[in-house]
Amino acid sequence: MAGIDDARVRDAYSRQKALVAAYDRPAYLAVRLLLPPQLVPHVIAVTAFMHYTDVMLDGETPSNTASAAAWEEDVRCALSSGESREPLLRALLTSVEAVPWLRSRVEAFMAGARVDRDFKEFAGEAEYQQYIYDYSLPAFMLIACLLLPPNADPGASGMACRAYIDGHQRLDFVNDLSEDLSAGRLTIPLKTLEQHDVSRSDLEQRRDSLGTRALITSLLTRARQDLLVSRSLVEHVPADNRAFLRALITVKVLTADAALAKGAAVMCAPASPSHSAALRMLLREYRRRGR
């Protein structure tokens, strides 16, 4: 890992690298190929931290609830003391020391993490937007604060971050319908269902109707539009970080396109971009590094 000499810290980062590579290989490749070496360990550390926290806080079994509470306490103690025996937190603490403004982002993420665990459905768009504000945006800002310079315009860059995470989250909620419904979570606002004359049962039964098709197309189109708007975020990051950010946005646009092509079948299984399209995008951005 570039710039890290301490053997224990290098080992901690290496473990997080393996974790991220195992659960999201495309994201791992984008980080390694497109970001400057000095940023790679920090992005890997916060990505692994987010993933592990989501896993720990997910579910409602008594044993998991106890583990989640213990994890939250471990994070609080680590941030307070600056020390941890847990490799994941040791890597995170090293990144917080290197990037001091990351600390407040970690705290904001932990404050909102239980929102994701506790919700079952949204009454309307306002409740969905509150979820974005409380949980999804703080999660994205863990990464974004590493890409943005400290003096980035908070208004313009903040609006672009919000557009990205709104598009990203709406897309994921549609694309993950089969998994979420199986877990008892309805991620499309009830009022949105009503507007398209679609019921929860229609989604649970995977009914391919005019209503479900229109609903899915409408949500995915809106998500795609937000993702395209978020491209303005590239203007606010240093040139060395732009290839990675463009790839981050583009892979979501490609996923939206794949989901739109799949249509109502996303109720049965998620869509994903073709491997060839994703590879072409990575190669294109690799050639554009520094611009």
pLDDT in tens, 28-60: 888 889 999 999 999 999 999 998 888 887 654
What pLDDT sits at residue 183? Answer: 84
Judgement on whether residues 62 and 197 belong to the same structural domain of the protein? no
The answer, yes or no, to whether residue 171 has pLDDT greater than 90, is yes
Q: Which of 100, 128, 161 is the last residue of a domain?
A: 100
Same domain, 141 and 241: yes
Same domain, 290 and 185: yes
Q: Are 170 and 223 in contact (CB under 8 A)?
A: yes
Distance CA 195, CA 250 (A): 30
Q: What is the pLDDT of residue 105?
A: 95
**Could you tell me if residue 112 is inside a domain?**
no
- Model confidence band, residue 14 (pLDDT cutoffs 50, 70, 90): confident
Longest dimension (CA), the chain: 60
User: Whole-angstrom Cα distance, residue 200 to residue 205?
Assistant: 9
Residues 20 and 134 reside in one and the same domain: no
* pTM higher than the cut 0.85: yes
pLDDT of residue 62 exceeding 50, the answer is no
Residues 139 and 190 grouped into a single domain: yes
pLDDT classification of 63: cutoffs 50, 70, 90: very low
Are 247 and 275 in the same domain? yes
Q: For residues 30 and 13, what is the distance between their CA atoms, to the nearest angstrom? A: 17
Give the structural domain span for 94. Answer: 1-100
Instruction: Say how far apart CA 271 and CA 238 lie, in whole Å.
Output: 32
Q: Report yes or no on 70 lying in a domain.
A: yes
Are 87 and 126 contained in the same domain?
no
Helices (H), 152-265: 154-175, 177-182, 190-195, 200-204, 210-229, 239-262
> In a 3-state reduction of DSSP, which class is residue 35?
coil
86-134 confidence digits (pLDDT tens): 888 998 999 999 999 999 999 999 988 878 777 888 999 999 999 999 9
Q: Are residues 88 and 146 in the same domain?
A: no
Asked if residue 230 and residue 180 are part of one domain, the reply reads yes
Tell whether 203 and 91 lie within a shared domain. no
How many domains is the chain partitioned into structurally? Answer: 2
User: Are 87 and 16 in contact, with CB atoms under 8 Å apart?
Assistant: yes
Query: 137-165: per-residue pLDDT in tens?
Result: 999 999 999 999 988 999 999 999 999 99
* Contacts of residue 250, Cβ cutoff 8 Å, sequence gap at least 6: 281, 285
Identity at 78, one-letter amino acid code: A
Mean pLDDT of 237-253: 96
Q: Is residue 111 assigned to a domain?
A: no
Residue 17 has pLDDT above 90, yes or no: no
Q: Residue 6 has which token pair?
A: 């301490």
Which CATH number fits the domain that encloses residue 58?
1.10.600.10
Distance spanning both ends of the chain, measured CA to CA: 24
